Amino acid sequence: MMQIGNIQFESFPVILAPMEDITDLSFRLICKEMGADLMYTEFIASEGLIRDAAQSRAKLHFLPRERPIGIQIFGHDVESMVTATRIAEEAEPDLIDLNFGCPVRKVVSKGGGAALLTDVPRMVRMTEAVVKATRLPVTAKTRLGWDRNNQNITKVAMRLQDAGIRAITIHGRTRDQLYGGKADWTLIGEVKANPAINIPVIGNGDVVNPQIALEMKERYGVDGIMIGRATIGNPWLFKRVKHFLATGELLPEPSLSERIEMVKKQLAYAIDLKGERTALVEMRKFYAGYFKGIPNFKEYKMRLLIAASKNDIINLLNEVSLANEPTSYKRIDKNSF
């Protein structure tokens, strides 16, 4: 059983990774329904919260049925991170997560995210200050190191534990890999096997199916698994991973009708939360995942990307369904006789 502060997980937890422009409320609701044990908001810039930026504040919003849920923040200045933590705490999440792993240039160039792997003393000071500033459990997400020659995660994990974090998530890549190459879980396993580490260690990176999830769990002994990009347009992955870990039975991939109904549900959630125009734009990034492997989907994808209304989307989805029905069940066009 894994525990973070007073949050207890009765079985091996499968966790949704925080992803910018992906893990908004509408997508999180879908993932929760599919079995995600713990979720995080999109990461939020500390400076944005301090300036009371509308976009940053909006990311603090979540619903009670999403619990347990964490708010992830990032930044480079210790005092700003403390202030942002206190603002985030007002939203009453279950935990605060510190982003020490984001590799994108706009974050790293300002000294946030994975840049702190090159300044471990600052990372530690920031963590200590945030832990002291909140009553909530504080966790951290990071990477193996800055590059292949500077994989300092073993030291970082110890320092962060000493600074007071209650769990650590490690992505099996260095910063300079971004999201390319193959995730290496070897050092994640070494951190977990270190007898001096007594906080939960959560592994992240390249878990794209239930079989890999089981392999990573058994080979490296992690306390939980976090999944990110593989869930985009594939929220069933949580259900399939958890079922496989519990029973050894591999559930089938979702049918086309299940995929279409899930798109409709996520679109409805997004429209309720953000309005039709914004929802149509933000759904575009999910279609490739939802319809991966569907024959001749490219034509429909292009039409979905330029659809101007909810009704247009629904009509296109119905076309996809009809075009991919088994031949014996397709409707007969009376004009063909």
- pTM for the model stands at 0.92
Average pLDDT over residues 315-335: 63
pLDDT at 203 over 90: yes
Match 């009453």 to its residue by tokens: 92
Token output for 337 = 């006789």
Looking at the domain assignment, is residue 335 inside a domain?
no
CATH at 208? 3.20.20.70
pLDDT in tens, 97-143: 999 999 999 999 999 999 999 999 999 999 999 999 999 999 999 99
- The answer to whether residue 337 is domain-embedded is no
Claim to verify: residue 262 and residue 207 sit in the same structural domain: no
Both 317 and 204 in one domain: the answer is: no
Q: Is residue 153 part of a domain?
A: yes
Question: What per-residue confidence (pLDDT) applies to 320?
Answer: 86
> Catalytic: 31?
no
Q: Return d(Cα 99, Cα 43) in angstroms, integer.
A: 8
Three-state secondary-structure class, residue 227: strand
Q: Are residues 132 and 186 both part of a single domain?
A: yes
- Regarding whether 315 and 295 lie in a shared domain, the answer is yes
Q: Which whole number is the average pLDDT over 268-289?
A: 94
Beta strands in 236-287 (DSSP E): none
- pLDDT (tens digit, 9 = 90+) per residue, 64-96? 999 999 999 999 999 999 999 999 999 999 999
| pLDDT tens-digit series, residues 222-233 | 999 999 999 999
Parallel/antiparallel/unpaired status of strands 2-4 and 7-9: antiparallel
Q: Over 70: is that where the pLDDT of 335 sits?
A: no
Q: How far is CA 76 from the centre of its chain?
A: 22
Q: Cis omega (within 30 of 0) on the bond before 68?
A: yes
Please indicate, yes or no, whether residues 298 and 236 belong to a single structural domain of this protein: no
Contact status, residue 46 vs residue 74, Cβ threshold 8 Å: yes
Q: Do 321 and 234 belong to one domain?
A: no
Q: Report the amino acid identity of residue 275.
A: G
189 occurs within a structural domain? yes
Number of domains in the chain: 2
Whether residue 129 lies inside any domain: the answer is yes
Q: Are strands 201-204 and 224-227 parallel, antiparallel or unpaired?
A: parallel
State whether 227 and 286 are in the same domain. Answer: no
- Using pLDDT thresholds of 50, 70 and 90, give the confidence band for residue 325: low
Give 326's pLDDT tier (boundaries 50, 70, 90): low
Q: What is the DSSP string of 57-123?
A: HHTT---GGG-SEEEEEE-S-HHHHHHHHHHHHTT--SEEEEEE----HHHHTTT-GGGGGG-HHHH
Residue at a domain's end among 247, 282, 315: 247
Mean of all residue pLDDT scores within the chain = 93
**CATH number for the domain harbouring residue 285:** 1.10.1200.80
53 and 184 together in one domain: yes
Q: Is position 28 within any domain?
A: yes
Cβ neighbours of residue 102 closer than 8 Å, sequence gap 6 or more: 43, 74, 108, 112, 113, 114
Q: Are 175 and 108 in contact (CB under 8 A)?
A: yes
Say if residue 122 is in the same domain as residue 105: yes
**Element of type H or E holding 199:** none
**333 assigned to some structural domain:** no
Spatial contact of 13 and 242, defined as CB atoms under 8 Å apart: no
Q: Looking at the predicted structure, is the pLDDT value of residue 294 above 90?
A: no
Q: Which of 215, 247, 279 is the last residue of a domain?
A: 247
Q: Residue 322's domain spans which residues? A: 256-328
d(CA 139, CA 81): 14
* For the chain, percent of residues with pLDDT exceeding 70: 96
- Which has the higher per-residue pLDDT, 8 or 297? 8
Q: Has residue 142 been placed in a domain?
A: yes
Interval 233-247: pLDDT, tens? 999 999 999 999 999
Query: 201, 216, 265, 268: which is closest to 236 by C-alpha?
Result: 265
Nearest to 139 by CA among 214, 88, 179: 88
Whether residues 121 and 236 fall in one domain: yes
Q: Assign residue 215 a region: left if phi > 0, alpha if psi is -120 to 50, beta otherwise?
A: alpha
Half-sphere exposure of residue 46, counting CA atoms within 13 Å on the CB side?
25
What integer pLDDT is reported at residue 332 of this predicted model? 35
The CA distance from 269 to 30, in Å, is 9
The domain boundary, picked from 198, 218, 247, lies at: 247
Q: What are phi and psi of 293, to 5 degrees?
A: 90, -5
Specify whether 214 is located in the same domain as 307.
no
| Spatial distance between the Cα atoms of 201 and 167, rounded to a whole number of angstroms | 6
Beta carbons of 142 and 172 less than 8 angstroms apart: no
Same domain, 288 and 190: no
pLDDT digits (tens, 9 = 90+) for 141-158: 999 999 999 999 999 999
Catalytic residue among 39, 102, 167, 216: 102
